[in-house]
């Protein structure tokens, strides 16, 4: 199944955060655009509405909250999915964000996997056709709705970490990830975990996936890390 990429607009004035979000959202297959000012975002959104907006609360030009309120007031953008970014501890702002009509809010600093999960969940509600619910690679299928993995019809029992690890690799077949990148993408960057933990979980994932003479879909790249073989299932 071919899925047309959902378009996401990031409205954020902290450039490092914009770059981090852009990198990770593009890696998930989304088409990403960004603006740093609230007033510019308003102009941009009048020209063309994306499928989802990640909107910072504090912005130059026009605040995220005011922009959100204006977007909700216009019929064209009334139901545009919006995730608001707010600073930690601003409980009243959070409530205000929701009252303004944001669909969801994420408190800074946040983990990238957490934000990606919220984006996916929101898109699934608003644009189900833009998010693949089932990832397939050869005889392996990962159902994101049922959180179920099968290989050749056989159920694969996975712990939550092995599941997320497999999902992460299957979203980007062929790409090699270092242990550090896997820690960031699967566990979240604010968590301190030894890199050898990645090896332990890859080992568990392999044990669950492969039985008997099954071909191992996971490649260990010496001195680099791991990847899932994009040719898996296509090999004779």
Residue nearest to Ca ion (CB): 58
Least distance (Å) between residue 64 CB and Ca ion: 8
CB 103 within 8 Å of CB 82: yes
What is the DSSP annotation of 47-70?
A: H---SEEEEESS-SSS-HHHHHHH
Least distance (Å) between residue 199 CB and Ca ion: 38
Strands (E), the chain: 7-11, 31-35, 52-56, 82-87, 104-108, 134-137, 140-143, 148-151, 154-156, 218-221, 225-228
**Nearer residue to Ca ion within complex by CB, 37 or 70:** 37
Least distance (Å) between residue 235 CB and Ca ion: 48
**Nearer residue to Ca ion within complex by CB, 108 or 172:** 108
- SS3 sequence, 96-109? HHHHCCCCEEEEEC
Least distance (Å) between residue 58 CB and Ca ion: 4
**Nearer residue to Ca ion within complex by CB, 5 or 58:** 58
**Nearer residue to Ca ion within complex by CB, 100 or 227:** 100
CB 193 within 8 Å of CB 187: yes
* Chain contacts with Ca ion (rule: CB under 5 A): 13, 56, 58
């Amino acid at each position: 199944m071919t899925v047309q990429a959902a378009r996401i607009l990031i409205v954020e004035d902290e450039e490092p955060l914009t770059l981090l979000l852009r990198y990770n959202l593009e890696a998930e297959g989304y088409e990403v655009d960004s603006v740093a000012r609230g007033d510019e975002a308003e102009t941009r959104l009048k020209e063309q509405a994306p499928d989802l907006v990640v909107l910072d609360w504090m912005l130059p030009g026009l605040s995220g909250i005011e922009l959100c309120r204006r977007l909700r007031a216009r019929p064209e953008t009334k139901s545009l999915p919006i995730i608001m970014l707010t600073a930690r501890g601003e409980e009243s702002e959070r409530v205000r964000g929701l009252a303004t009509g944001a669909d969801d809010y994420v408190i800074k600093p946040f983990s990238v996997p957490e934000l990606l999960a919220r984006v996916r969940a929101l898109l699934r509600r608003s644009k189900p056709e833009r998010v693949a619910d089932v990832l397939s690679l050869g005889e392996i299928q990962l159902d994101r709705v049922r959180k179920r993995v099968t290989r050749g019809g056989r159920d694969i029992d996975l712990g939550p970490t092995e599941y997320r690890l497999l999902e992460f690799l299957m979203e980007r077949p062929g790409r090699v990830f270092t242990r550090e990148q896997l820690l960031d993408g699967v566990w979240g960057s604010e968590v301190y975990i030894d890199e050898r933990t990645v090896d332990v979980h890859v080992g568990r994932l392999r044990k669950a996936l492969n039985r008997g003479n099954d071909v191992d879909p996971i490649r260990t790249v010496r001195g680099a890390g791991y990847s899932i073989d994009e040719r898996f299932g296509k090999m004779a």
